[in-house]
Structure 1
């Protein structure tokens, strides 16, 4: 919901740093892979060390997620880069709830399952529409330059990262936060389905 507004704040510094990294020889796919490593480290830290330590790797993962796109815009975007970016994003989004479930199965397992279900519903509505939009030649840049059509919703990347940060800062509140955000994600998925149905009916395919 807030991603488009956040882009105006975070894009300029990311573009500047991304340009420097590109000139130094770094590639977008390399940064994506480093970010994936931070995602694994975040999950491991949350599960077996402590959520505050995990927060550091969550933030580093998100930094890489912004930088790989900035570098790609300098070096040139590729289908492989876009594929790795979205796939590893979803791996990351799923790993954090699972990590909290491992950290305290008795308290966190069921809320984590509810949150993962909501991510699954929201992600399928997002990705299925992206496929149909590509097929019909639909484009948007409201959330910045992307490799696929980005259909906005109530629960987007910015809100999800804010949730993960809050969970790391307040691990005792994980059940409440997970159930609350799961409800938001389900509403977001429903809204995306409605938008998709309206758009696909009005656009010849």
Structure 2
């Protein structure tokens, strides 16, 4: 829901930084993998109970997630680059809730499992919608220039980053936050399926 507005603010500086990184020999896929490493390091810190410290690599990983596309636009966009980017994103999105479960499986296990199921369902609805949109020749640039069709929704990347930051700042509230955000993820997926039914039923 917030991605299109966030993009209007962050794309210009990201594109400028991306051009600088490209000039220094960085590749888009390399930046994607750096972002993954930072995200997994954040998950490791969360699993060890270092929630405040985890914010640093977590936010840095999301910066890299924005910069890989900027580097690609400054050099050459590839289908594989877009595929790698979305695959890495989903791994990151799953690693953070898993880290909270590892930290305290007794307290966080059920809520963490519910959140991961919600992410799985929402991610499947997102990718399935992208396949349908591609098949029907539909395109959008509301979330920036993407290799895949990015369908909007109640929850998108911006909201998920804010949610992860809140989890790290208020880790004792993981359980209610996970149930709440997971419910919104399920709602987003259901609304996307209903939209696909309305648009692509022929």
Deviations 1:147-181 (A, max 9, x none): 10000100110000000000000000100110000
Q: Distance in 1 between matches of 2:194 and 2:85?
A: 26
The whole-number CA distance in structure 2 between the counterparts of 1:168 and 1:115 is 16
Aligned to 1:93: 93
Q: 1:58: which partner in 2?
A: 58
Matched, 1:180 2:188: no
Superposed displacement of residue 188, structure 1: 0.4
1:49-94 Cα offsets, whole Å, 9 max, x none, are: 4111111111011000000000001111101100110000000000
Q: Distance in 1 between matches of 2:123 and 2:3?
A: 16
Which structure 2 segments of 5+ residues have no match?
none
- Tell me the TM-score normalized by structure 2: 0.98
Cα distance, 1:40 vs structure 2? 1.2
Calculate the aligned-residue CA RMSD, in Å: 0.9
- Structure 1 gaps of 5+ residues are none
| In 1: Cα distance, 2:91 partner to 2:107 partner | 23
After superposition, the C-alpha distances for 1:113-138 in whole angstroms (9 at most, x for unaligned) are: 01011111111110011112112211
Provide the residue aligned with 1:26 in structure 2: 26
Q: Distance in 1 between matches of 2:159 and 2:40?
A: 21
Residue pairs, 1:1-205, within 5 angstroms: 1-201=1-201
**SS of residue matched to 1:40:** helix
TM-score, normalization: structure 1? Answer: 0.96
Tell me how far 1:201 sits from its aligned partner.
Answer: 2.2
Q: Secondary structure at the match of 1:155?
A: coil
- How far apart are 1:24 and its partner, in Å? 1.1
SS at match of 2:201: helix
Paired positions, count: 202
Distance 2:197 2:73 in 1: 32
